[in-house]
Amino acid sequence: MPNVSTAQRRAMLVDAAVQVIGEAGVGAATTRRIADRAGAPLATVHYCFRRKEDLYLEVFRKLSDEFARAAAEVEGADLEAVACGYLRATVAWMLARTRPPQPRSSTSCAACRRTWSQVRATA
């Protein structure tokens, strides 16, 4: 990743994490798989995000922002426009990912709940 800023590296890793989590689930989304998907050395993940939970927090923020933008586009519109906007956003989201991130174990569920609580608290 020559000549890439830290912000760009972080964005690439978040995008890769979204893809890996969508394909394999939270439990199977190792930092090595995420780094490989981003085309980055494993150390880059640890450099850009102190903990795996910090990376997951950014993933949740990114997805939340995408949905918030889609909702803002249809806010105050008539029912047909709201339905069309929701459908467009949902289809776009589904096409961008093979499936939504899903925890594979009770440990991952607890981690997801903690991370989601942190996202909601900072929103």
Q: What is the per-residue pLDDT across 37-50, written as a single tens digit (0 to 9) for each? A: 999 999 999 999 99
Model confidence over 47-105: pLDDT tens digits?
999 999 999 999 988 888 887 777 777 666 676 776 777 777 777 666 665 544 555 55
Task: Look at the pTM and tell me if it is higher than 0.75.
Answer: no
Question: Tell me, what's the pLDDT at 100?
Answer: 46
How crowded is residue 78: how many other Cβ atoms within 10 Å of its Cβ?
9
Dist CA 67 CA 26 (whole Å) = 20
Question: Tell me, what's the pLDDT at 26?
Answer: 84
Dist CA 17 CA 73 (whole Å) = 26
Task: Quote the crossing angle between the two packed helices 106-122 and 52-74, to the nearest 10°.
Answer: 60
Cα 2 to Cα 33, 42, 46, distances in angstroms: 20, 15, 17
Dist CA 66 CA 82 (whole Å) = 16
Sequence ranges of the domains in the chain: 6-122
Q: For residue 32, what are the contacts with CB-CB under 8 A and spacing of at least 6?
A: 42
- Domain over 6-122 is classified CATH 3.40.140.10: no
